[in-house]
Structure 1
């Protein structure tokens, strides 16, 4: 774990900032281009992938990549619970949040919807974000703080910082309401706790995939049955 310390955290934050800046630049230079949004997202993902590759090329924390049957159970159950919690929070904030909807053409989703929206939001983004925030940032911060402050304090600090960065990243595309901040914070803290308690990343990844995929399913219901 010697390679997963302060320097890795610094590189991760720098690379994330570079990805965000590149994404903003693309949207600013080509605001009307059909490919602008996708290119901006790819720039952000690259910014997160660089420190992930750096980290795992240096060393692999024991057990972090191991998958156990319980991880699937934790992931599905908590992912569903967090989406229900998000709906409850949104209802409390808005007095009754409607189902999300997707843009349609002649009553049908565009042929590119799966590749441009469903796959990125439901699978790719959750995997990249969990490996960046809960593998690299969380584990590196925990490693740095553990000897000086003890496991409990180090875990709590690492969970809070990784969750705060996770929430802040989602403000890049626009201002978040208090309900979205609370919901994203709950996702971040839950995934951080899973990694800290199990020592494995996949339960957190599955939570995030299920959480995002349920939004897509609700969007399909709202689009065609709403």
Structure 2
């Protein structure tokens, strides 16, 4: 019988080792996080410069700053610290129909929690806020596409597909439950921090609560299912529902 690299006899295929050099993968992740935080800070600090440009340019700059370093880190980690390939390392190779149900459930619960504690009142914060005052329609379309499709997928690939899975591998000696708790906690803290940086000088309470709930929910989905799709569905639904409330 053939074996899969990184799988010990009797070990469920669902929980194969994602990153064979997990600490190096986490080092790559740290570099991506630092680069994203720095770029977001620069975009926010140079806000007056963006005010004189078409709104869509500021929108693209903000989206690039938040997402480009993260996806580069994910690709680099999969290429240089894993021997199972990008799709298997991040957990997106396999899809089970229950992932959709789990994702919908967590996404709805996360949005409900946020709306109960800090109802959405409308308006975009951070660098994008100024962008929407210019070419409103185009900037809004770009921002909406990023919020519903681009950012959730890239953030899940990075925070859960890279960080959570690499941490679980790195801390395997602590047992799967212990490693999972540390992985979800650490990735959620980083997830919240990056969103706070992205918000700039205005950090709504709802943003912190939402980032915390989504971080924990998607992290738990990742370690429980061993796949990434449920987390992606939850994150996309959460962001889409938030955008709908903003535009209501």
Which stretch of the first structure deviates more once superposed, 153-162 or 178-187?
178-187
* TM-score with structure 1 setting the length: 0.83
- For 1:7, the equivalent position in structure 2 comes to 24
Instruction: Give the one of 183, 188, 191 matched to 1:163.
Output: 188
- Whether 2:65 is the aligned partner of 1:48: answer no
**How far off is 1:110 after superposition?**
3.6
**How far off is 1:36 after superposition?**
3.4
Quick one: distance in 2 between partners of 1:131 and 1:54?
12
Quick one: distance in 2 between partners of 1:143 and 1:84?
33
Alignment of 1:31-42 (within 5 A): 31-33=48-50, 34=53, 35-42=57-64
Report if the CA contact (8 A) 1:83-1:211 is conserved. yes
Quick one: distance in 2 between partners of 1:83 and 1:213?
10
Which stretch of the first structure deviates more once superposed, 157-166 or 25-34?
25-34
**Residues 39 and 178 of structure 1, relative CA distance in 2, 3 Å threshold:** closer
- Whether 2:96 is the aligned partner of 1:79: answer no
- For 1:136, the equivalent position in structure 2 comes to 162
Secondary structure of the residue aligned to 1:163 is helix
**Residues 40 and 47 of structure 1, relative CA distance in 2, 3 Å threshold:** same
- For 1:20, the equivalent position in structure 2 comes to 37
Quick one: distance in 2 between partners of 1:112 and 1:140?
38
Secondary structure of the residue aligned to 1:188 is helix
**Residues 177 and 188 of structure 1, relative CA distance in 2, 3 Å threshold:** same
**Residues 184 and 146 of structure 1, relative CA distance in 2, 3 Å threshold:** same
Which stretch of the first structure deviates more once superposed, 44-53 or 32-41?
32-41
- Whether 2:95 is the aligned partner of 1:67: answer yes
- Structure 2 unmatched ranges of 5 or more: 1-17, 130-134
Report if the CA contact (8 A) 1:19-1:43 is conserved. yes
Instruction: Give the one of 97, 122, 141 matched to 1:100.
Output: 122
**Residues 98 and 26 of structure 1, relative CA distance in 2, 3 Å threshold:** closer
- Structure 1 unmatched ranges of 5 or more: 91-96, 104-108, 222-226
- Whether 2:209 is the aligned partner of 1:182: answer yes
- Whether 2:238 is the aligned partner of 1:202: answer no
Deviation by residue 1:135-192 (Cα, 9 ceiling, x = unmatched)? 1000001100012x11111010001000000001111023535553233211111101
